[in-house]
Amino acid sequence: MDEKIILNESQLAITLKRLSHQIVENTNDLADLAIIGLQPRGVFVSDAIVNALEELLPTVKFNYGKLDITFYRDDIRKELHIANKTDIPFSIENKRVVLVDDVLHTGRTIRAALDALLDFGRPASVELCTLIDRRFSRQLPIQADYVGKTIDSIISQKVKVYWKQRDGVQQVVLIE
């Protein structure tokens, strides 16, 4: 099993900070912004982005939530899934929602997230922020508005994002 580093720790930190800046640059009213991390792995990315936003704008209170999509997936019957916690302590009604995930691959996770999100209200708009975009593997017409890094990979390859708090190392690798 060969691993190729796509983003090392310092590159990952720069990328997360850049994504945070891009989200702020495209926001007219921060009160209408809601950032929602997708459980489980997207939450690591969204935590980092929200931390960077709070450093950038320390006086602003950001609407930040976490969304579990386990029971909205279309592959729920194929394998046993363990649900994570959903925590959205604010209304998303008429908000500009930015969904955050680690890797955009087929688009099926984002489709499930859109279904799950509607249970919490009707947002004014929904955008997608992803750390890694595997652009040639889409099964659904979904694209990210904010992308950390775009890679070209084949179906047999995997992208793995390691986080210091979970894995002891912080990097993104492509596994052959």
pLDDT in tens, the chain (176 residues): 799 999 999 999 999 999 999 999 999 999 999 999 999 999 999 999 999 999 999 999 999 999 999 888 876 665 656 778 899 999 999 999 999 999 999 999 999 999 999 999 999 999 999 999 998 889 999 999 999 999 998 888 999 999 999 999 999 999 98
**Which CATH class, in words, describes the domain spanning 10-153?**
alpha beta
146-151 sheet: strands from edge to edge: 63-67, 33-38, 96-104, 125-134, 146-151
Sequence ranges of the domains in the chain? 10-153
d(CA 3, CA 161): 12
d(CA 137, CA 56): 34
CB 110 within 8 A of CB 72: no
